[in-house]
Amino acid sequence: MVETPAAVAANPEFPNIISMLGEHFKGQPLGAFLMSWESTIYCVLVIGLLSAVAYYATRRRALVPGMLQNAAEFYVTGVDDFVCSVLGPRGRKYTPFIGTLFIYILAMNYLGLIPFFKSPTAELSTTVGLSLIVFVYVQYTALKELGVFGYVDHLMGKPRGIMALTIIMPIFMLVLHLVGELIRPLSLSLRLRSNIWGDEMLLALLASKGLAGIPILFMNFVLVVMTSTIQAGIFALLTLIYFALILVHDEEHH
């Protein structure tokens, strides 16, 4: 059944392969599976595509690299230089995580721009999962680098002298920092999901206007590509900043 413009405007979302298959097999186990794991399927698809690109870019490495190997080396070098410029030479061990996080989110953002596909990052479940991974890794790094007491000292604002004697202020700083740490996953996930979801809804709404919406659709498509890139960069940059806040205190501690 063809949806009317009014129906599309009420629920402006492009149809995608998984949702169409889910509707086709509605009432069957396969249909329920596809509808329940729609975003996860697209996440796995992106992982498969990136893994294939990485494999073909590195399987026959040469001193005179081909186009794919050259692009991969350019990307890795650029990410490594940027991470080390923020964290110093010791930050190189975080380059794989930051670089993978950025390219993974970027690919998921771009996936929704392909007809009959959907950006997994338009779903809150995906962005929450990514944010929790960042949160756990940052907390693990803090405990590993600072130790339990050093991390608690960091959360208290490193009270010294008179500040250490006033119990109220260190406790207040501890509660404040704990709330801030717990809010980070929420802010990361909502920022990314809201922007990508909003972009997809806008493109779908403009597409429902027919031929009259094509010029505006084209201009907004370019803006959506820019927004998708910027949002992936912001997510990776904020993650890098979280590591920097921990490692700076670790240097002061030593």
The yes-or-no verdict on residue 247 having pLDDT over 50 is: yes
Backbone angles phi, psi at 196, to 5 degrees: -70, -40
Better-scored residue on pLDDT, 1 or 87: 87
* Confidence category of residue 2, pLDDT binned at 50, 70, 90: very low
Contacts of 90 (CB under 8 A, 6+ apart): 247
The yes-or-no verdict on residue 250 having pLDDT over 60 is: no
**Domains: count for the chain:** 1
Structure tokens at 187: 């802010």
Is residue 200 within 8 Å of 14, Cβ to Cβ?
yes
Q: pLDDT tens digit string along 72-120?
A: 999 999 999 999 999 888 889 999 999 999 999 999 999 988 888 999 9
To the nearest 10°, the Cα dihedral for 104, 244, 125, 101? 10
* Confidence category of residue 44, pLDDT binned at 50, 70, 90: very high
Taking alpha carbons only, the member of 80, 35, 72 closest to residue 56 is 72
Range of 19's domain? 5-253
Q: What is this structure's pTM?
A: 0.85
Return the pLDDT at 163: 56
- Distance in angstroms (rounded) separating the CA atoms of residues 173 and 152: 10
Taking alpha carbons only, the member of 229, 224, 232 closest to residue 203 is 224
Better-scored residue on pLDDT, 47 or 170: 47
Backbone angles phi, psi at 2, to 5 degrees: -85, 130
